[in-house]
Amino acid sequence: MVEGRIFPEEFGYHFSQENFEQIYLQTVNDFRLSMGVDDFINAAQNFNEGTGAFRLKRTNSLEPGIKRYQWVDDESGRMIITAFNSEGEIIGIQFDIHESFNSDREITINSYRMPFTGEWFVLWGGNDSFLNYHYPHPHQRYAYDFIRKSAGRAFDGDEYNLASYHAFGSDVVAPRKGKVVHVIKSVEDNKPHSMNMVSPEGNCIIIAHGYNEYSMLAHLREHSISVETGEEIAAGQMIGQCGNSGASDTPHLHFHVMNGEDPYESDSIRIQFADTREPRQGDTIKGRGAV
């Protein structure tokens, strides 16, 4: 390491000591191009005002060569998320709030299986905005985004080719028996690293399961959905394929359960899983076979 470098595990100390210029100089070039040193120092000073000490709460790695760190100041409830590459450079710094909600104590009445077969990786999921970017938003608070990996990577070959992604075209199954109440199936899949914000959910299925619980599976592959509105389906029944439609920049499966049929007007509910503990970001989960 170059003399004077900040070790990833020491970031919180240096931030609390207001060593902001030293932090900035360790960021990658893309970060410095997006924000000048004076703007960064001003933003850091404003965020740090009134805080105590930022302590390391958890770490994880979502892709090879990159490690994420969550720093929390318990006095102010403020949170910093940092990401370092294998060379010790800072590739990202995010200022946020470490919050929790009363709804964390509530779970679904029904129990649900995983909406897939085989092994998948939890890209986003958990009761914390470090683990789950959906968490601050009530309508998606307990949502999951799943991908597939091989040798630690989400794709092999050309990252701009949908077929390179292990999740693309993988089977999606019903997480519980129920009645299909909404289907969209003709949204074109996006090219990797682009999104369609006109139809954010893309191709999707909403299923009513009783007790006012509805599951939503989104970003499915164009024309892959094999069920229709009004159809009664079984748990584990194949209903579509993972795609890259809607607000999705790389192929993944979005899954959440909510207390109403309208995904924009309903609240997400923490899911009770039938055959596994509650997964969170970074876990590899194996789904049961289809029926």
Residue 253: is it exposed, middle or buried by C-beta count within 10 angstroms (0-12/13-18/19+)? buried
* 170: Cβ contacts below 8 Å, ≥ 6 apart: 116, 118, 148, 241, 242, 253
Structure token digits, residue 182: 């909404």
Q: φ and ψ at 114, to 5 degrees?
A: -70, 145
Residue 275 is predicted with a pLDDT of: 83
Instruction: Identify the pLDDT of residue 117.
Output: 96
User: What pLDDT, in 10s, does the model give residues 95-117?
Assistant: 999 999 999 999 999 999 999 99
Which DSSP string corresponds to 135-196? TTSGGGTT-EEEE--BTTBSBSS-TT-GGGBTTTT-EEE-SS-EEEEEEE--PPPPPTT---
pLDDT given for residue 215 in this prediction: 98
pLDDT, residue 3, reads 52
| Length of the chain counted residue by residue | 291
Q: What is the pLDDT of residue 289?
A: 78
pLDDT of residue 160: 97
Low-confidence residues of the chain: pLDDT under 70: 1-3, 290-291
Tokens encoding 183: 């289907």
Name all domains of the chain by residue range, CATH numbers in brackets: 8-97 (3.10.450), 102-287 (2.70.70.10)
- Contact 204/196 with Cβ under 8 angstroms? no
What pLDDT score does 91 carry? 97
223 and 229 Cβ atoms separated by less than 8 Å:
no
Looking at residue 1, its pLDDT comes to 38
The helix or strand, by DSSP H or E, that contains position 269, with its residue range, turns out to be strand 268-273
Q: How much is the pLDDT for 4?
A: 77
Q: Looking at residue 80, what is its pLDDT?
A: 98
